[in-house]
């Protein structure tokens, strides 16, 4: 395992693997490590014990952890042959984000108040830009606002009732009205 500033370990490993293909990968990791340090990324950890069960990985694999979480929130790796399946021969690195774990963590640690009132936004075509700008302002003030592409206020009311929204922000002629959901 290589953690934090322990580049000596990586350099020692590079010395032992001269002449092997894996030396190129270690040089890449050293370059990546230095780049991440320049970007002020803290607690960098390279764990050489990670094994990919998926056969499509062709190089480096990685997992990203965040503070106080027990499992990785991002997993990915180099998958050069995967894009070839879709007709292009390109190098590729892909990853997946574990939204369920992130959501659980946020809720368990009360990072978002899920009991806040939820607002559904609805706008006419002329007011779309105004609505998006205003919704951003509402969000910056701590409101939970979801944009919708529903056509009518009646559709919005029905959708809001079914999905736990307490209010609708109705934008028309670059003005807005707050409508209670009954």
Condensed to tens digits (0 to 9), the pLDDT of residues 33-89 reads 888 777 777 777 777 677 667 777 777 778 887 777 788 888 888 888 878 888 888
Residue with tokens 């503070």: 67
What domains appear along the chain, each with residue ranges and CATH number?
A: 2-108 (no CATH), 118-180 (3.40.50.800)
Tokens of 114: 């899920």
pLDDT tens, 117-136?
Answer: 889 999 998 899 999 999 99
For the whole prediction, is pTM greater than 0.85?
A: no
How many angstroms separate the CA atoms of 16 and 4, rounded?
21
Residue 144's SS3 state is: strand
pLDDT of residue 3: 47
Which residue, among 112, 97, 111, has the nearest Cα to 65 in the 3D structure?
97
144 near 119, Cβ under 8 Å?
yes
């Amino acid at each position: 395992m290589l953690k934090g500033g322990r580049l000596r370990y990586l350099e020692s490993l590079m010395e032992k693997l001269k002449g092997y293909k894996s030396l190129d990968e270690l040089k890449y990791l050293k370059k990546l490590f230095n780049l991440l340090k320049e970007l002020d990324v803290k607690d960098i950890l390279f764990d050489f014990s990670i094994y990919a069960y998926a056969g499509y990985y062709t190089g480096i694999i990685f997992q990203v952890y965040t503070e106080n979480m027990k499992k990785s929130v991002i997993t990915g790796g180099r998958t050069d042959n995967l894009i070839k399946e879709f007709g292009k021969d390109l190098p590729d690195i892909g990853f997946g984000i574990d939204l369920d774990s992130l959501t659980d963590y946020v809720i368990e640690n009360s990072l978002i108040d899920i009991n806040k009132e939820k607002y559904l936004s609805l706008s006419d075509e002329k007011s779309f830009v105004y609505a998006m700008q205003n919704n951003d302002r509402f969000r910056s003030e701590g409101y939970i606002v979801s944009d919708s592409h529903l056509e009518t206020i009646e559709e919005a009311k029905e959708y809001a009732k079914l999905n736990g929204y307490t209010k609708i922000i109705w934008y028309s002629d670059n003005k807005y009205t707050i409508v209670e959901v009954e």
